[in-house]
Amino acid sequence: MMKVYLDNNATTMVDPEVKAAMDPFFTEIYGNPNSLHDFGTACHPALRKAMDSMYEAIGARDEDDIVVTSCATESNNWVLKGVYFDLIKNGEKDHIITTEVEHPSVTATCRWLEEQGVRVTYLPVNSDGVVEAHTVRDFITDKTALVSIMWANNETGAIFPVEQIAEICKERGVLFHTDGVQAIGKIPVDVIKAGVDFMSFSAHKFHGPKGVGALYIRDGHPLTSLLHGGEHMGGRRSGTLNVPGIVGMGKAIELADYYLRFEEENVRRLRDKLEDAILEIPDIYSVGPRENRTPNTILVSVRGVEGEAMLWDLNRAGIAASTGSACASEDLEANPIMTAVGADSELAHTAVRLSLSRFTTEEEIDYTIKEFKKAVERLRSISSSYAYMPESMKTEQ
């Protein structure tokens, strides 16, 4: 049976080139980069090269910082809690703006900040799944310390107007953070052009290793540290450097940058092919216009078929996908993103996400099209809600 991995927004395969770049740093060059001896300094050239790749890929300048962290969750926590300490707890501000569709590492941290007395505004999204820039303007006050809005959404792939939002924040003198996890490697990311103050990202979303991420900080803006200890990362983030991880992230981001055009053309073509074929099945709709989505993502609602059941059938066929369905979660809560973008309440139960990568092949897409249709057919034959759905509710064929 064919094995097809279409869950690349959850995590990606490590590119063999990345693994090869990391390999020497486990058993050959294993010194602590903070040590004075040769074992320690031996890893410096590779670390510097990795940092250069990161600066280049996102367009950062030498006066900016890219602080390597353990994951984007840490980066998001750091920027939110750091700004809280600096401008709210020990300052005059009291307000943070974010959206209803952020990753849990942003929303859960904001919920915690609310418990500490911070006012948090969660902006809604429109039916395309994006926050419109003017909404941000409407909610900024003199007390707003930070605006935190993602660059692209993990579930829908929707791309947010980051540049316009940054412009508004700059006008009002408010710091702007963007979670760039789903953007890097999928669409062009230039932090200077976009005008962001902070950006989080994570290596494992662009064919790098798990356990390494980063926070971009414009002009080395002061931010209270989350991890205190030794003077690593210029004293901004303590903890012995994850040398293989940093080398891997450097290589991965270099390749992601190199393959951007491939992503834009080939991955998009395969995605569109898959989406067109799926939308040929009656009573399926996809969320958000294609041109405003990351080129690898499809989120569809299959009327009459519950998302977890769909995932089960796809998995039996060797295909990995994802669902925001309440039934598939530990706590039976629907994914809040589905509720926020859902034009109807069914999306919270019927959503299936397929996310491709540059390793996805034409053959895999053809196979997926065939198996997806089979799964819909089988589950609709069992479904109680599809068979007797009133004709008026069915879309025109």
Q: Minimum CB separation from other proteins for residue 349, in Å?
A: 4
Out of 27, 381, 395, 397, name the contact with other proteins by CB under 8 A: 381
Task: Determine the Cα–Cα distance for residues 334 and 301; give it in Å rounded to an integer.
Answer: 14
Q: Site size for other proteins, by CB under 8 A?
A: 32
Residue 327 contacts other proteins per CB under 8 A: yes
Nearest Cα residue to 66 out of 267, 202, 210: 202
Contact by Cβ (8 Å): 320, 4: yes
Residue 345 contacts other proteins per CB under 8 A: yes
Residue 90 contacts other proteins per CB under 8 A: no
Out of 144, 350, 355, 368, name the contact with other proteins by CB under 8 A: 350
Residue 36 contacts other proteins per CB under 8 A: no
Residue 382 contacts other proteins per CB under 8 A: yes
Contact by Cβ (8 Å): 324, 239: no
Give the residue numbers marked as catalytic: 327
Q: Minimum CB separation from other proteins for residue 223, in Å?
A: 30
Single out the segment in contact with other proteins by CB under 8 A; choices: 48-56, 158-166, 309-317, 355-363: 309-317
Residue 305 contacts other proteins per CB under 8 A: yes
Neighbours of 140 (CB within 10 A): 18
Out of 332, 390, 395, 396, name the contact with other proteins by CB under 8 A: 332
Residue 11 contacts other proteins per CB under 8 A: no
Neighbours of 332 (CB within 10 A): 9
Q: Minimum CB separation from other proteins for residue 306, in Å?
A: 5
Q: Minimum CB separation from other proteins for residue 69, in Å?
A: 21
Single out the segment in contact with other proteins by CB under 8 A; choices: 21-29, 34-42, 267-275, 377-385: 377-385
Contact by Cβ (8 Å): 325, 334: yes
Q: Could you give the C-alpha distances from 110 to 62, 216, 307, 338, 350, in angstroms and in order? A: 31, 20, 29, 19, 28
Q: Minimum CB separation from other proteins for residue 287, in Å?
A: 17
Out of 63, 92, 173, 384, name the contact with other proteins by CB under 8 A: 384
CA angle in degrees (0–180, nearest 5) for 379-385-314: 20
Strand (E) or helix (H) holding 105 = helix 104-115
Q: Among all chains, which residue has been given the structure tokens 């602590």?
A: 32
Residue 94 contacts other proteins per CB under 8 A: no
Strand (E) or helix (H) holding 234 = none
Nearer to other proteins, 15 or 306 (CB): 306
Contact by Cβ (8 Å): 66, 215: yes
To the nearest 10°, report the CA torsion of 217, 223, 229, 235: 50
Q: Among all chains, which residue has been given the structure tokens 């509720």?
A: 339
Binding site for other proteins (CB under 8 A): 303-309, 312, 316, 325-328, 330-334, 344-346, 348-350, 381-388
